């Protein structure tokens, strides 16, 4: 069977830890995390990936555009579902940044997935511009080549989810699009892609789905490490607080998957599925343990990281993040 899941590791990762020291050392970070709003506005948009692409359009918006965007902001503030966080920018109303938390019961569980978005000058007749923070990794075949798939599907209107259009010009909203993206992070992502249709056998489809889930989880772990070291601006408290809170469950899941639990299963309750995870997955999982434990330790989840290191036999010098 063709290996459709192989991919080069990210070359964007850096040995230099860029997470803000003031955020890490602040004892109040969990308090700020707990009060982190689903929607809010920021001043500094300097690291937004669409800043320069949208620069020319920002001076030529259509009539009524500002009022439309303000209404979209209000809708986001009022109606965002759990697991989605959005920030607008006071000096650049055309730009947004969104974070979607990976849902439980899926291979994306506990991950943080970031999107930079923009309202074009002719919005909503013209579809939003989107760029996924891939960290050099494709965690969903629908996000392949960064944001090109998303842009293509919005433009051509070729993609539907349970009969729902990804984007309907003049009708759809940014809230609608964000909820749609959240739905793509589901328990059977392989079946969202075009690849499964090339396999007629149901058994082959299921095997491919399990392999894809394994691949996603490994890439999600690598994405977690990258995000912890390089949190998107304005989301530092969310990143640190989320991973401090979820560190224990993430590492428990790693241990359970290493022991044979199927990726995406409920680690601590009903719905557990045991099987034979692939050798490639087991090896890739092992390679994630050390950098993940170090990343957790450096954001303040030191005790959890140390306990995990003990369970999987990582040397103490790695536990401490020493060279």
Q: What is the pLDDT of residues 156-171, one digit of tens each?
A: 555 555 556 667 777 8
Whether residue 23 has pLDDT greater than 90: no
pLDDT, residue 17, reads: 46
88 neighbors 95 (Cβ within 8 angstroms) = yes
Q: What is the pLDDT of residues 277-315, one digit of tens each?
A: 889 999 999 999 888 988 998 898 888 888 888 877 776
Whether residue 187 has pLDDT greater than 80: yes
- Report the mean per-residue pLDDT for the chain: 80
**What whole-number percentage of the chain has pLDDT above 70?**
73
Ranges 52-56, 80-84, 141-145, 191-195: which has the least confidence: 141-145
Residues in the chain: 323
Assess whether 215 carries a catalytic annotation.
Answer: no
pLDDT, residue 79, reads: 97
Whole-number Å distance between alpha carbons of 25 and 309: 23
Would you list the domain boundaries of the chain?
Answer: 37-192, 202-319
Catalytic residue, chosen from 135, 153, 288, 309, is: 153
In this prediction, residue 13 has a pLDDT band, given cuts at 50, 70 and 90, of very low
112 neighbors 99 (Cβ within 8 angstroms) = yes
Encode 111-136: b = buried (16+ Cβ within 10 Å), e = exposed: bbbbbbbbbbbebbebbbbbbbbbbb
37-192: CATH class: alpha beta
Burial class of residue 271, CB neighbours in 10 A (0-12, 13-18, 19+): exposed
Check residues 116 and 322 and name the one with the higher pLDDT: 116
Q: What is the mean pLDDT of residues 203-230?
A: 89
297 neighbors 321 (Cβ within 8 angstroms) = yes
pLDDT, residue 197, reads: 57
């Amino acid at each position: 069977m063709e290996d459709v899941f192989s991919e080069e590791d990210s070359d964007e990762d850096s040995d230099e830890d860029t997470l803000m020291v003031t955020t890490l050392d602040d004892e109040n970070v969990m308090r700020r995390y707990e009060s982190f709003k689903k929607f809010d506005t920021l001043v500094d948009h300097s690291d937004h990936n669409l800043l320069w692409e949208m620069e020319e359009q920002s001076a030529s918006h259509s009539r009524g555009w500002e009022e439309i965007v303000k209404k979209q902001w209000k809708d986001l503030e009022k109606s965002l579902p759990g697991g989605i966080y959005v920030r607008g920018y006071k000096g650049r109303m055309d730009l947004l940044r969104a974070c979607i938390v990976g849902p439980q019961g899926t291979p994306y569980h506990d991950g943080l997935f970031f999107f930079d978005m923009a309202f074009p000058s002719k919005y909503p007749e013209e579809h939003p511009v989107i760029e996924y923070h891939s960290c050099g990794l494709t965690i969903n075949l629908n996000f392949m080549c960064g944001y090109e798939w998303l842009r293509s599907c919005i433009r051509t209107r070729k993609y539907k989810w349970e009969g729902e259009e990804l984007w309907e010009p003049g009708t759809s909203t940014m809230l609608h699009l964000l909820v749609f993206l959240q739905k793509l992070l589901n328990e059977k992502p392989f079946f969202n892609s075009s690849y499964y249709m090339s396999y007629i056998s149901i058994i082959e489809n299921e095997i491919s789905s399990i392999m894809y889930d394994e691949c996603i989880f490994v890439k999600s772990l690598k994405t977690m490490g990258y995000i912890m070291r390089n949190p998107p601006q304005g989301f530092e408290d969310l990143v640190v607080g989320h991973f401090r809170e979820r560190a224990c469950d993430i590492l428990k899941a790693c241990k359970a998957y290493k022991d044979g639990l199927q990726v995406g299963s409920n680690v601590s309750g009903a719905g557990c599925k045991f099987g034979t995870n692939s050798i490639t997955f087991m090896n890739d999982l092992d390679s994630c343990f050390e950098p993940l434990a170090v990343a957790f330790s450096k954001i303040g989840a030191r005790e959890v990281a140390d306990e995990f290191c003990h369970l999987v036999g990582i040397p103490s010098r790695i536990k401490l993040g020493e060279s």
